[in-house]
Structure 1
Amino acid sequence: MKKIFLFLVCLLIIKPIYAQRNDVNIEQLQRDIKEGIKCAYDASVRIIQYNTDVQKGVGGYFSGVVVDNKGHILTAAHAVKPNDIYLVTFPDGRQVKAKGLGVISSADAAMIVITDKGKWPIAKMGWSSTLESNVPCISISSPGSLGFNKPTVRLGYISDTQHESGFMKTTCLMEPGDSGGPLFDLRGRVVGIHSRIKLSLDDNFEVPIDVFRKYWTALQSPEYLNAFIPEDKVVPGKKAEVLRPVPEMRQLISNFKVQDQEFQKNVFTVKDSVNDSPIVCTLVDLNGLVPESKLKGKSFFISKNSMILAHPMVELVSGKFVDAKVLGRDEQSDLVLLEVPQEITGGVNLQSVKTDSVSVEELGNLLISPQPQNNGIVSVLGNQLLSIPKSPAAFLGIGVNFNIDTRQIVVTALYPEWTNTKGEIEKSSDDDIEISDVLTKINDQPIFTVKDLSDELSKYDYKQSVSLQYTKKTGSSHTKTHVLKRYYIVPHVPTDLFREGKSQRDNFKEVLVHDGKLNPSDCGGPLYSVNGTFYGINIARLCRTVTLAIPAKEIMQFVKDSKAF
Structure 2
Amino acid sequence: MFPLKRVCVLLAIGFLPVAAFGFPLNSKKAPESEADLLSIQEALQEAIPKAKAATVCVDLGNGTGSGVIVTEDGLVMTAAHVSTGVGKLVTIIMPDGTRLEATSLGLVADVDAALIQITEKLPGDKKFPVVEINRDNDTKLADWIFSLGHSGGFDQARGAVARIGRLVRVANSTFQTDGTLIGGDSGGPLFDMDGRLIGIHSRVGPQLPVNMHVPVGQFLENWDGMLASEFIGEGPFAAKPEKGKGFLGIITEKAEGGILVTKVGKNSPAESAGIFEGDLLVSLDGEQLESREGLQDALAEMVAGNLLVFEVIRDGKNETIEVRLGSR
- TM-score, with normalisation over the residues of structure 1? 0.33
| Letter of the 1:32 counterpart | A
Deviation at 1:147, TM superposition (A): 4.8
| Letter of the 1:39 counterpart | K
Aligned to 2:105: 101
Count of residues in Structure 1 that have an aligned counterpart in Structure 2: 197
Aligned to 2:37: 26
Aligned to 2:52: 41
Aligned to 1:176: 183
Secondary structure, aligned partner of 1:201: coil
- How is 1:65-76 mapped onto 2 (pairs within 5 angstroms)? 65-76=68-79
Secondary structure, aligned partner of 2:130: coil
Q: Percent identity?
A: 30
Contact 1:128 1:191 in 2 (8 A): no
- Provide the rounded CA distance (Å) in 1 between the counterparts of 2:59 and 2:180: 21
| Letter of the 1:69 counterpart | E
Contact 2:181 2:209 in 1 (8 A): no
Deviation at 1:127, TM superposition (A): 3.8
| Letter of the 2:167 counterpart | I
- Provide the rounded CA distance (Å) in 2 between the counterparts of 1:92 and 1:172: 26
Contact 2:163 2:180 in 1 (8 A): yes
| Letter of the 1:154 counterpart | R
Which of residues 143, 148, 151 is equivalent to 1:140? Answer: 148
Contact 2:108 2:222 in 1 (8 A): no
CA distance change for structure 1 residues 128 and 86 in 2, over 3 Å: closer, same or farther?
A: farther
Aligned to 2:13: none
Deviation at 1:199, TM superposition (A): 2.2
- 2:160 is aligned with 1:157: no
Deviation at 1:202, TM superposition (A): 3.2
Deviation at 1:122, TM superposition (A): 0.5
Aligned to 2:18: none
Secondary structure, aligned partner of 2:190: strand
Query: Which of the pair has the greater relative contact order for Cα pairs under 8 Å at 6+ separation?
Result: 2
| Letter of the 2:151 counterpart | P
Segments of structure 2 that go 5 or more residues without pairing to the other structure are 1-26, 235-240, 242-328
- How is 1:71-220 mapped onto 2 (pairs within 5 angstroms)? 71-80=74-83, 81-117=85-121, 118=125, 119-127=127-135, 129-144=137-152, 147-149=154-156, 150-162=159-171, 166-220=173-227
Secondary structure, aligned partner of 1:112: strand
Deviations 1:191-219 (A, max 9, x none): 00000033233320000011111111111
Aligned to 1:319: none
Deviation at 1:31, TM superposition (A): 0.5
- Provide the rounded CA distance (Å) in 2 between the counterparts of 1:129 and 1:160: 15
Deviations 1:208-254 (A, max 9, x none): 01111111111102231127xxxxxxxxxxxxxxxxxxxxxxxxxxx
Provide runs of 4+ in structure 1 moved above 3 Å.
21-24
Q: Which segment drifts farther, 107-116 or 86-95?
A: 86-95
Larger radius of gyration: 1
Deviation at 1:128, TM superposition (A): 7.3
CA distance change for structure 1 residues 73 and 147 in 2, over 3 Å: closer, same or farther?
A: closer
Secondary structure, aligned partner of 2:131: coil
Deviation at 1:126, TM superposition (A): 1.0
Deviations 1:279-299 (A, max 9, x none): xxxxxxxxxxxxxxxxxxxxx
Contact 2:65 2:150 in 1 (8 A): yes
| Letter of the 1:36 counterpart | A
- TM-score, with normalisation over the residues of structure 2? 0.57
Contact 1:35 1:186 in 2 (8 A): no
- Provide the rounded CA distance (Å) in 2 between the counterparts of 1:100 and 1:194: 17
- Provide the rounded CA distance (Å) in 2 between the counterparts of 1:199 and 1:100: 28
Deviations 1:5-60 (A, max 9, x none): xxxxxxxxxxxxxxxx95452212210011110221100000112xxxxxxxx210
- Provide the rounded CA distance (Å) in 2 between the counterparts of 1:30 and 1:224: 41
